[in-house]
A and B are shown apart, each in its own frame.
Chain A
């Protein structure tokens, strides 16, 4: 193991020095190209879970030719086991607002939206107050940028960026075909940057301290720090900012209850890692040289030996069965089949080999589903069934 694997705490996101006005006015006077280069060299990747390079995302939208563009902050935090964005928006909202305005400056957008998860309605009054204060300052420095909150209505799928646009446009929240991508054709068919709340908060750090400060954290391909929502069988649940690249073994040493059987990394759409793989698993984006590297939107659920992995999977599949938007076949019907399938095996109505059939079905869902939801059901399904097969049967 290299030293890169050690668990290191960081403290950027929630450190509130109340200097957003300074950061904003300084950065909107820098050229878009300079800011994009800064972001690219920081190697910041999207913190919502998919890990798309943020600098590239901004660059593509900046290059798109259109008079109207949008910046959207994705605060539809719906992944089971994730609760970091709520904290960011309530504790350091100005970092997010500042980052949105800088993004607007970079790509040429005058309007920004925060797509706020329906269940976070209680954040709205405070957030609106912050937006009022923020826009007042923008006016003072002659920055033409408006931010509005758009309330979601509780569908998990609306966190998927194109379904989110559909929802904002007043339509049914269903993912679109890609291409075209949001950078050229997003909200209202206009070039749009859509970033997770945490991603925007990290850009604030980068614009304030410079790319190097961020880049120096983490490991190759997985730079910087990240917020983790730690829950489950742990003596200290909560939100922690950690450098990327740590090994899961270190993580469990720190957060486990001494009896950790498995960790679900990345929520219901992520992977389950059994104890025997803790030490070879790192938390970060794909492309590391050794071991398995798991990306995550930050959800870390710990399970101890009292937990039935069948129940865990059953719970996830119930969630997907209900939260699939229902438009594409592999996801809509696939989720029903996986759920009914494991129950049938458990009850002995189907034999154990049926699990193999379901694993192949999960693989098909991964290959053919229209959006990330259906594609990632296989992550938890396969990792749980393969590692805890006996718990599925007996």
Chain B
């Protein structure tokens, strides 16, 4: 069953298009990574899904209900961690968790207590006003408040910002546990390694448009491959002059190549030579991400 569905979701701010005709469908039990540069539209989409802003066009459904500004019950089963988290600074950590938990009538603190332990938020910190918290401690508190009422859908905007690597790993385990429990997680991140590690599906947004929405392995297979080839004898300069193939390095005998799209034209060329060694690697998510943005930056830097 899809937990998030958007159809033609569009948001304009005056003449600026923040989001343009986004169609998305995310199934239950998925960890969905949402990638994009600053200002690409990630937070706009999250705000639309939460009913904090109105779409200019299109519609969104979350947990089977249409999102609108005046349907607060929709948010009962959602846990939300805002990006650039701000909390009531004069409250103590425990007061923040109790205050936010009361909106859900929360009495059972098993999840809260478990996460406090897992994320190593010390009991003394819970008795301290939030204004004295470090960035990482605030983020831990933000994560706990998002999870504490056992939501079916978690919307996390840059969840590991400010967390140290050890706590980040523990947080990834928490995400995997929640997925195994059938929960759906929609997370935006700048940390491509993190998305690659924990998400099975990824969406890439550029200038408000969803330019990719696929399983990570499919994207990797489809888009860019790193190829390293060693020939038995030096070849001429033009051997790798093949559409979609970029030469990263070549000394005539050994070459490092980046292949966009189909590998077969390169393999056909290599079949006509004597190859002593060949390795083909799928691109990292970072390569894929940069690939989607490369075209845009090239267009921007071209004088007209």
Q: Do A and B bind each other?
A: no
